[in-house]
Amino acid sequence: MRRKACVTVLAATLCLALSCLAADEEAKLLPDGPGKDLVGRICFDCHGAGNFRKARLSRDDWSDQVADMADRGAKGTEAELAAVVEYLTQYFGKDSKINVNTAPLVELKTVLGLTVKESQAVIDYREANGKFQAWQELQKVPGVEGTKLEAKKELIAF
Ligand code: HEC
């Protein structure tokens, strides 16, 4: 009995540590800029980066979204939340580019209009071959339709 409880506690601790680690990794992958640390601290308690990285919103809409998150329990002072809105508007605004070397699956899918399979292929390719340097390199990814990428090339960043 004791032993079973012990294993359960151990498993729970490991789980928590792993999810913290995953959040930490995801936070590091955010584009560098003022407010990044705040987003890393405030926005990963309940869900991953995919939730906001896949969005492309105006300042007003980010403001509403962040207020909604604060209602749900996101913790920050008024000034910190305002800085988070600025960061999100800058890097996940209406015309913001997508960093194809760090984007999670949902961001690749939504912003580049890829299928889930194509988005996963991009991730597999960069994991195996290192960072993309030019949008043309994405054309080498097996199973990704090149015309889709060409149409979005102005949005692609590295
Ligand atoms: C206290 C928990 C909590 C925190 C902290 C939090 N969120 Fe959320 N967020 C939620 C819940 C719950 C949902 C709705 C369910 C879901 O999509 O996971 C959500 C959904 C979202 C969505 C919509 C996703 C969609 O699919 O439409 C966005 C965007 C978002 N959050 C951004 C943020 C940002 C930016 C921050 C940091 C300021 C943040 N969240 C912090 C709980 C939280």
- Report how far residue 62's alpha carbon sits from residue 70's, in angstroms, rounded to the nearest whole number: 12
- Asked whether residue 11 falls in the same domain as residue 77, the answer is yes
Query: Ligand 1: residues within 6 Å at CB?
Result: 42-43, 45-47, 51-52, 55, 65-66, 69, 72-74, 84, 88
Residue 38, token pair as written in the block: 């705040």
Amino acid letter, 4: K
Which residue, 65, 91, 117, sits at the end of a domain? 91
Q: How many domains does the chain have?
A: 2
SS3 (DSSP) at 99: strand
Residue 152 lies in domain: 98-157
**Domain CATH for 122:** 1.10.150.280
DSSP calls for 26-43: HHHTSPPSTTHHHHHHHS
Q: The whole model's pTM is what?
A: 0.90
Q: Determine the pLDDT at residue 8.
A: 64
Q: Whose CA is nearest to atom 5 of ligand 1?
A: 74
- Asked whether residue 35 falls in the same domain as residue 52, the answer is yes
The per-residue pLDDT for range 113-151, each reduced to its tens digit, is: 999 999 999 999 999 999 999 999 999 999 999 899 999
Q: Where are the alpha helices (DSSP H) in the chain?
A: 2-28, 36-42, 50-53, 59-72, 78-91, 105-112, 116-129, 135-138, 146-151
Atom of ligand 1 nearest to the CA of 51: 24
- Asked whether residue 144 falls in the same domain as residue 71, the answer is no
Atom of ligand 1 nearest to the CA of 45: 5
- Asked whether residue 14 falls in the same domain as residue 75, the answer is yes
Residue 111, token pair as written in the block: 């912003």
Atom of ligand 1 nearest to the CA of 76: 38
The per-residue pLDDT for range 8-62, each reduced to its tens digit, is: 666 666 656 667 778 899 999 999 999 999 999 999 999 999 999 999 999 999 9
Is 77:91 a contact under the CB 8 Å cutoff?
Answer: no
- Asked whether residue 21 falls in the same domain as residue 86, the answer is yes
Q: Determine the pLDDT at residue 104.
A: 96
Is 84:76 a contact under the CB 8 Å cutoff?
Answer: yes
- Asked whether residue 73 falls in the same domain as residue 21, the answer is yes
- Report how far residue 86's alpha carbon sits from residue 58's, in angstroms, rounded to the nearest whole number: 10
- Asked whether residue 140 falls in the same domain as residue 86, the answer is no
- Asked whether residue 55 falls in the same domain as residue 133, the answer is no
What are the φ and ψ backbone dihedral angles of 58, each rounded to 5 degrees? Answer: -75, 170
- Asked whether residue 87 falls in the same domain as residue 102, the answer is no
- Asked whether residue 12 falls in the same domain as residue 75, the answer is yes
- Asked whether residue 86 falls in the same domain as residue 14, the answer is yes
